Chain A
Amino acid sequence: MREKSHSSGGCERILLPEQGDVGVYVDSLRGSLSLASASESTLRYLVLDTFDWRLFHNNLQLRATKSKDRWFLELYLNCSGTLQASLPVSTLPDFVTELAAGSLSKQISKIVVPRALLPVLEFETKRLSLVKRNAEEKMTATLNVDTSKVRLPKSRIWHSLEPCLDVVPVRGYPKTAKQIRAVLKRSPGTCVSNVDPIDRAVQQLDLVSVAESNSKCLSLTSTQAALPAIAQCLQHLLEIMERNEDGIVNRIDAEFLHDFRIAIRRTRTVLSQLDAVFPGNLAAYETKFSWLSELTGPARDADVLILKLEQFRDMLPSELHATLPALQEFLQYKRHAVYNPLIEALQSQDYKRFKTNWRRFLKRCLAQPTQPSENLLRVSQVANRKIWKLYSQVVNQGAKIEKNSPASDYHRLRKTAKKLRYLMEFFQSLYSSDDICMLIKETKRLQDNLGEHQDMEVQMSSLTTYAKELGTLSDKSPDLLAALERICRQMNKRKRRLRNKFRARFEHFAVRANKKQFKTLFHKKSAAKNSQ
């Protein structure tokens, strides 16, 4: 029995005429194109991707096909259908790190890590394959007639996709496929589609919003009234929180909590910086968001330590590498302990009530007139005022920091810089994209230095506490304690290097050109004065 070639197809797929019988149409093609033996098969595969569809956004598709007692993982370039890598595995991986080192893991690691791989779609394709052979009876092209249906992995409902023809050339024999395509394009009723079945499925199942990145900004206009515009953004942040809850509760990967926390932080920034815009007292909501922030902090710190295990390996001499599995086990135990109260809180009635109240509040804000009146501020006025104020604070706080300043000074500046970045990202759509992106980038560069410094502080503190705890155990491992001490020493060195680099980084941020740009965008009065 002949099988189908895997060789790369083109982008083009041909959609069959809407009217008429597929079988009759295919029979007519068989005759007119002199296509030889046909085979029928059913392909069933899962599409694996991250929760936020990172592979899809990078134009890749990871298929998992079950065959007897194992799975074939195949990485395709979307649209062209070119096979990039394949790997047989005994079980579906939860994380890329579980795959054997090789082409597949190399190609997707950078895109996917640290997210888990989840089945995001299930396809079932009935395929009728017709082949074109040369004088040697060698296959030179395949014409696949695909009738596909697709469903979400936990759903029972299948969605049918339009039948399509896919001409697959065999490598080294490009002419045959070209000829077949030309005939098909001329055939009445057919139309050429450049859309891959996964794109069609994403559209048909309305997964576009799911496939969008969490950080996608909402579009605001400068003349909008501030309150409903800000409420709209806060509602978007609430949706992000809710979208990530299941992933936290089911402990799928660390990114769910990370995104959840960022949404909380952004919300808290808005509540603290833009409180004057809102009617009434926000204290109750601020308290709750602060509670959530405190609750998620230890869990995120525990996640980060586990994600850093590979970096810890690089910090240790090879004779201490053997301690890493024990360290991993201990960190996982610690993570488990801090996740439990968090999960309990996320499933509590108290949290559900809080979200209901918060949603109602936002709904009331959204119901306010969208056009600003005399009493209502325009969104751009609010944004300019607050961003400029935060920028000034960053510059003042940063100027006072010296190499030996306490860590709390660095942390305070980090928090202010973060608020500044969040507000700029929040109101990004109000400004010229190039200008604001440049300033966000500059702020982020400063933040990277401050953020890493703070991470070192937190991680050293955690590891020192853990070392003390492990030191009291009767079956303590001297090697593990030595490893922790060594990691802390390396982190301290890194912290010193970051402090040494801070001044240059800050001066780069506070440079005159950046100040001018901040002024032009956010401090309209003085910018106008200067230009007169």
Chain B
Amino acid sequence: MKVLASYNIKGGVGKTAAAVNLAYLAAQEGWRTLVWDLDPQGSASFYFRIKPKVKKGAKALLKHKRQLADAIKGTDFERLDLVPADFSYRNLDLYLDDTKNSDGHLGELISQVDAEYDYLFIDCAPGISRVSEAVFQAADALLIPVIPTTLSLRTLKQLLRFREKTQLSELKLLPFFSLVDRRKTLHRTIIENPPFQASLWLKSTIPYSSVVEQMGTHRTPLFCYANGDNAAKAFLSLWQEIEQTLAT
């Protein structure tokens, strides 16, 4: 099972939209796919119309009192399941602090469903915390939506530094530009001259689009109501590029 975490230190960059839509595409392609909504806000769960509730909460999962598989809910789509969010996830840092091998603990939990799925997409909460570090340990790659703005780029720089310090060199970072508004000069300039190494960036970009925002009203992946829209095409191109990158 490949573990992909949709992550950024900054909030509001399109992490959930990326996790939900890319997971949908993976499942459509024939892969058995699981989304873990690790953000206590529960947006991914909301998009799939699944109650953001894990029986007995995050603590029971971390203490192995409940199996991760027992928390899984089927979505309305073939081959696509979800571990819902739970408000108790806000305390995940504390629970992890209480456990031995806290960084590897999430990976141990995930390994319980390793044989059942081909892909796991983790929708992470913003910020950098003990939970984020545990995600970095468990993930094969981080999908990092970045808005082409100064502040958003700054958080990517923080993450790159953090990776260097913590010797996570094997963790693949897959940043891509998100919520791109080509009418804005700053967005255009940054995309044309991406900072850091140009090779770091995925080529596909996700445009700023009202149809993506409408996921909240439709409560379903973008492809179910705007399949032909440019934003849908952009997510498809992004997914194809991610698959290619992971294969190399």
Residues of chain A at the chain B interface (Cβ within 8 Å): 1-7, 72-74, 83, 85-88, 102-103, 136-139, 170-173
Contact = CB atoms under 8 A, between A and B. Distances in A.
B4 to A, nearest CB: 16
B30 A86 contact: yes
B72 to A, nearest CB: 6
A103 B115 contact: yes
B118 A6 contact: no
Nearest to B32: A86
B224 A1 contact: yes
Given A103-B115, A136-B49, A171 B73 contact: yes
Contacts of B79: 6, 83, 86
A102 B118 contact: yes
B60 to A, nearest CB: 16
Given A88-B30, A103-B118, A138-B49, A172 B78 contact: no
Contacts of A7: 74, 81
Nearest to A88: B30
B70 to A, nearest CB: 9
26 contacts: A2-B76, A2-B224, A3-B77, A3-B78, A5-B76, A5-B78, A6-B74, A6-B78, A7-B81, A72-B30, A83-B79, A86-B31, A86-B118, A88-B29, A88-B30, A88-B31, A103-B118, A136-B50, A137-B49, A137-B219, A139-B76, A170-B73, A170-B74, A171-B72, A172-B73, A173-B74
Contacts of B219: 137
Interface string B51-94: 10000000000000000000011111111010000000000000
A470 B41 CA distance: 69
Contacts of A136: 49-51
Interface centre among A4, A7, A88 (most CB of B within 10 A): A7
B27 to A, nearest CB: 9
Given A3-B78, A6-B79, A171-B72, A85 B32 contact: yes
Contacts of A138: 48-50, 76
A87 B15 CA distance: 27
A88 B74 CA distance: 21
A137 B50 CA distance: 10
A376 B74 CA distance: 69
Contacts of B51: 136
Interface in B76-132: 76-79, 81, 115, 118
B78 A4 contact: yes
Nearest to A1: B224
Interface centre among A2, A6, A102, A170 (most CB of B within 10 A): A6
Contacts of A6: 74, 78-79
Given A4-B78, A87-B30, 6 more contacts: A3-B77, A5-B76, A83-B79, A138-B50, A171-B72, A171-B81
A173 B77 CA distance: 14
A174 to B, nearest CB: 10
Contacts of B73: 170-173
Interface in B178-211: none
A85 B74 CA distance: 16
The 5 closest A-B pairs by CB, nearest first: A172-B73, A171-B74, A138-B49, A170-B74, A88-B30
Contacts of A74: 30
Contacts of A73: 30
A72 B77 CA distance: 16
A199 to B, nearest CB: 23
Interface centre among B50, B76, B224 (most CB of A within 10 A): B76
